[in-house]
Structure 1
Amino acid sequence: MENLLKIGRMAGFALEIDFIVPSEGVWRRYIQVKVEVDVNCPFVPGFPLERDHLPDLWIHFKYEKLGNFCFGCDLLGHD
Protein backbone atom coordinates (compact mmCIF):
# COMPACT_ATOMS: atom_id res chain seq x y z
CA MET A 1 0.00 0.00 0.00
CA GLU A 2 2.87 2.38 0.81
CA ASN A 3 4.32 1.99 -2.70
CA LEU A 4 0.89 2.54 -4.29
CA LEU A 5 0.49 5.77 -2.33
CA LYS A 6 3.94 6.87 -3.55
CA ILE A 7 2.87 6.19 -7.14
CA GLY A 8 -0.37 8.12 -6.60
CA ARG A 9 1.61 11.06 -5.22
CA MET A 10 3.42 11.32 -8.57
CA ALA A 11 0.13 12.49 -10.09
CA GLY A 12 -1.19 14.52 -7.13
CA PHE A 13 -2.43 13.98 -3.59
CA ALA A 14 -3.33 10.30 -3.15
CA LEU A 15 -6.70 9.90 -1.40
CA GLU A 16 -7.79 6.27 -1.78
CA ILE A 17 -6.69 2.94 -3.31
CA ASP A 18 -8.96 0.25 -4.75
CA PHE A 19 -8.03 -3.10 -6.31
CA ILE A 20 -10.34 -3.77 -9.28
CA VAL A 21 -11.00 -7.23 -10.73
CA PRO A 22 -13.70 -6.93 -13.43
CA SER A 23 -15.33 -10.11 -14.68
CA GLU A 24 -14.72 -9.31 -18.35
CA GLY A 25 -13.30 -6.70 -20.69
CA VAL A 26 -9.88 -5.43 -21.68
CA TRP A 27 -8.72 -4.56 -18.17
CA ARG A 28 -8.32 -7.90 -16.39
CA ARG A 29 -6.95 -6.53 -13.13
CA TYR A 30 -5.78 -3.08 -12.20
CA ILE A 31 -5.34 -0.72 -9.29
CA GLN A 32 -7.37 2.44 -9.03
CA VAL A 33 -5.85 5.28 -7.02
CA LYS A 34 -8.10 8.24 -6.34
CA VAL A 35 -5.92 11.35 -6.58
CA GLU A 36 -6.62 15.03 -6.04
CA VAL A 37 -4.83 16.99 -8.77
CA ASP A 38 -4.25 20.65 -9.53
CA VAL A 39 -6.15 21.03 -12.82
CA ASN A 40 -4.12 24.16 -13.66
CA CYS A 41 -0.98 22.03 -14.08
CA PRO A 42 -0.24 19.49 -16.83
CA PHE A 43 -1.29 15.91 -16.05
CA VAL A 44 1.50 13.36 -15.54
CA PRO A 45 1.17 10.66 -18.24
CA GLY A 46 3.06 8.02 -16.25
CA PHE A 47 6.56 7.19 -15.09
CA PRO A 48 9.43 4.77 -15.83
CA LEU A 49 9.73 2.01 -13.22
CA GLU A 50 13.36 1.09 -12.73
CA ARG A 51 14.00 -2.65 -12.33
CA ASP A 52 17.18 -4.51 -11.41
CA HIS A 53 18.76 -6.33 -14.37
CA LEU A 54 15.74 -5.54 -16.59
CA PRO A 55 14.83 -2.62 -18.85
CA ASP A 56 12.74 0.14 -17.30
CA LEU A 57 8.99 -0.46 -17.53
CA TRP A 58 6.69 2.45 -18.43
CA ILE A 59 3.76 2.68 -16.00
CA HIS A 60 0.91 4.54 -17.74
CA PHE A 61 -1.59 6.61 -15.77
CA LYS A 62 -5.20 6.48 -16.98
CA TYR A 63 -7.36 9.41 -15.88
CA GLU A 64 -11.14 9.08 -15.57
CA LYS A 65 -14.02 11.55 -15.57
CA LEU A 66 -12.15 14.46 -17.15
CA GLY A 67 -13.81 17.28 -19.06
CA ASN A 68 -12.29 18.76 -22.22
CA PHE A 69 -8.70 17.52 -22.21
CA CYS A 70 -5.89 18.48 -24.59
CA PHE A 71 -3.49 15.62 -25.32
CA GLY A 72 -1.05 18.16 -26.81
CA CYS A 73 -0.39 20.20 -23.66
CA ASP A 74 -1.91 17.80 -21.06
CA LEU A 75 -4.21 20.51 -19.66
CA LEU A 76 -7.98 20.65 -19.07
CA GLY A 77 -10.21 23.29 -20.61
CA HIS A 78 -9.84 22.60 -24.34
CA ASP A 79 -9.40 19.62 -26.66
Structure 2
Amino acid sequence: MGVHGTGGPGAAPSVGVEEEFLLVDAVTGECVPGAEAVLAEAGAHRWAATGGSFQAELLTSQVEAATGVCRDLAELGEQLRFGRA
Protein backbone atom coordinates (compact mmCIF):
# COMPACT_ATOMS: atom_id res chain seq x y z
CA MET A 1 0.00 0.00 0.00
CA GLY A 2 1.29 3.45 -0.75
CA VAL A 3 0.35 7.09 -0.75
CA HIS A 4 0.28 8.83 -4.09
CA GLY A 5 -0.31 12.53 -4.60
CA THR A 6 -2.35 13.49 -7.63
CA GLY A 7 -2.18 17.24 -7.29
CA GLY A 8 0.26 19.95 -6.51
CA PRO A 9 0.92 21.61 -3.17
CA GLY A 10 -2.28 22.16 -1.24
CA ALA A 11 -4.24 19.58 -3.23
CA ALA A 12 -7.05 18.00 -1.23
CA PRO A 13 -6.29 14.43 -0.08
CA SER A 14 -8.31 11.56 -1.49
CA VAL A 15 -8.87 7.94 -0.50
CA GLY A 16 -10.10 4.71 -2.08
CA VAL A 17 -10.36 1.04 -1.12
CA GLU A 18 -9.79 -2.23 -2.96
CA GLU A 19 -11.18 -5.42 -1.42
CA GLU A 20 -10.30 -8.94 -2.49
CA PHE A 21 -12.95 -11.65 -2.03
CA LEU A 22 -12.36 -15.39 -2.19
CA LEU A 23 -15.35 -17.45 -3.32
CA VAL A 24 -15.79 -20.48 -1.11
CA ASP A 25 -18.19 -23.39 -0.82
CA ALA A 26 -20.58 -22.73 2.07
CA VAL A 27 -20.29 -26.31 3.33
CA THR A 28 -16.65 -27.28 2.77
CA GLY A 29 -14.98 -23.87 2.94
CA GLU A 30 -12.97 -24.81 -0.16
CA CYS A 31 -12.29 -22.18 -2.82
CA VAL A 32 -14.58 -22.61 -5.82
CA PRO A 33 -14.37 -21.15 -9.32
CA GLY A 34 -17.20 -18.70 -9.75
CA ALA A 35 -15.71 -15.31 -10.53
CA GLU A 36 -17.28 -15.21 -13.99
CA ALA A 37 -20.80 -15.68 -12.59
CA VAL A 38 -20.21 -13.16 -9.79
CA LEU A 39 -18.87 -10.58 -12.24
CA ALA A 40 -21.83 -11.14 -14.59
CA GLU A 41 -24.20 -10.43 -11.70
CA ALA A 42 -22.09 -7.49 -10.54
CA GLY A 43 -22.24 -5.99 -14.03
CA ALA A 44 -25.89 -5.21 -13.38
CA HIS A 45 -25.01 -3.49 -10.08
CA ARG A 46 -25.44 0.28 -9.98
CA TRP A 47 -22.18 0.74 -8.05
CA ALA A 48 -20.40 1.84 -11.23
CA ALA A 49 -22.41 5.08 -11.12
CA THR A 50 -20.51 6.02 -7.96
CA GLY A 51 -17.10 5.18 -9.46
CA GLY A 52 -16.94 1.69 -7.96
CA SER A 53 -16.00 -1.40 -9.93
CA PHE A 54 -15.81 -5.18 -9.75
CA GLN A 55 -12.92 -6.91 -11.50
CA ALA A 56 -11.57 -10.36 -12.21
CA GLU A 57 -8.39 -11.54 -10.54
CA LEU A 58 -5.85 -14.17 -11.56
CA LEU A 59 -7.69 -16.95 -9.70
CA THR A 60 -11.20 -17.90 -10.86
CA SER A 61 -12.18 -18.14 -7.20
CA GLN A 62 -11.37 -14.49 -6.48
CA VAL A 63 -12.89 -11.10 -7.35
CA GLU A 64 -11.90 -7.55 -6.52
CA ALA A 65 -14.19 -4.70 -5.56
CA ALA A 66 -12.81 -1.17 -5.71
CA THR A 67 -14.35 2.13 -4.70
CA GLY A 68 -13.91 5.24 -6.74
CA VAL A 69 -11.68 8.05 -5.53
CA CYS A 70 -13.36 9.63 -2.50
CA ARG A 71 -12.87 13.08 -1.00
CA ASP A 72 -13.40 11.99 2.61
CA LEU A 73 -14.13 9.01 4.86
CA ALA A 74 -17.88 9.65 4.87
CA GLU A 75 -18.00 9.32 1.08
CA LEU A 76 -15.77 6.24 1.27
CA GLY A 77 -18.08 4.62 3.83
CA GLU A 78 -21.10 5.35 1.65
CA GLN A 79 -19.45 3.77 -1.40
CA LEU A 80 -18.40 0.68 0.59
CA ARG A 81 -21.92 0.18 1.96
CA PHE A 82 -23.45 0.60 -1.49
CA GLY A 83 -20.96 -1.76 -3.14
CA ARG A 84 -21.45 -4.46 -0.52
CA ALA A 85 -25.26 -4.33 -0.76
The normalised TM-score by structure 2 is: 0.27
Give 1 or 2: higher helix fraction.
2
The structure showing larger relative contact order (alpha-carbon pairs under 8 Å, at least 6 residues apart) is: 2
